[in-house]
Amino acid sequence: MEFGVYFQKIMITGRGQTSVFAREALIRGPVGSPVESPINLFAFARLKGRLASIDVQIMKTACRVFAANDPGGKLFLNMFPESILSEEFDTQEFLTILNDINLEPKRIVIEVLESERIVDCQAIKTKLFPLENKGVELALDDFGTGFADLQKWIELCPTYIKCDRNLLVGAKHDARRGHLLKAIETMCKGTNTLMIAEGIETEEEEAWLKAHTSIFLVQGFRYHIPQPIDPNEHILVIEDKPCAHA
């Protein structure tokens, strides 16, 4: 089955101007298929025992497509915690791939996806150390809605956290969420962590964000709709295989 590798821009805003800071790689299934949504795709992959192998395959393909069409900036790559810890993800092999395609490690950001599963943060930090040592950065996704967010922040020491859209939009109408958002901003400044406002969709949301926060890294349909960098070079073929057995 063929899947499309899409990219969404992460923008820097301020002083009345915007510029591209990075692009996040995203996966999209065949239109109209049960796995058109990435949520369904990864649920199916987990059910089949293939989450890690598909996660890593997507990551490698995204790097190759990005490098072949190099648009500049950083590349954010989503990974589930269990994929990072799996044998499928070989950090030395990944560094070799980056070297082969002339993509500098310092341009890569591994975005640790939220997971309902208990995660050994120290094991993830240890697994990713060879990459971080070469300049690869970390980001935490959907911060403010997940499981043990503060623990992950403290133990993983990410360069970026992506603030969940529900927290950002909800802060406009809920003072408690507004106070929580301000507290997260303060912690970011104190730990030299960059905060990304994710899921900004309207002019009104953008205006509120500018008026009430100091966040300058933003992402969402307001700024860019995900699309292939090159329509002719974004296809990933994933073959259906039997379930993996322990």
- Count up the domains in the chain and report the number: 1
Each residue's pLDDT tens digit, 139-151: 999 887 665 578 8
User: What pLDDT score was predicted for residue 112?
Assistant: 93
Q: Establish if 41 belongs to a structural domain.
A: yes
CB 193 within 8 A of CB 158: yes
Half-sphere exposure for 142 (CA within 13 Å, toward CB): 12
Q: Establish if 125 belongs to a structural domain.
A: yes
User: What pLDDT score was predicted for residue 117?
Assistant: 63
Q: Establish if 94 belongs to a structural domain.
A: yes
Q: Establish if 244 belongs to a structural domain.
A: no
3-state secondary structure of 110: strand
Partner residues linked to 218 by β-bridges: 11, 197
User: What pLDDT score was predicted for residue 231?
Assistant: 62
Q: Establish if 246 belongs to a structural domain.
A: no
Q: Establish if 243 belongs to a structural domain.
A: no
Helix or strand run (H / E) with residue 25: strand 17-28
User: What pLDDT score was predicted for residue 18?
Assistant: 86
Q: Establish if 242 belongs to a structural domain.
A: no
3-state secondary structure of 16: coil
Each residue's pLDDT tens digit, 212-221: 899 999 999 9
User: How distant, in Å, are the alpha carbons of 56, 71, 141, 146, 188 from that of 162?
Assistant: 21, 22, 5, 12, 11
Q: Establish if 245 belongs to a structural domain.
A: no
CATH number at 48 reads 3.20.20.450
The domain in which residue 164 lies consists of: 2-237
Q: Write out residues in the chain with pLDDT < 70, as ranges.
A: 115-118, 145-148, 231-246
CB 135 within 8 A of CB 105: yes
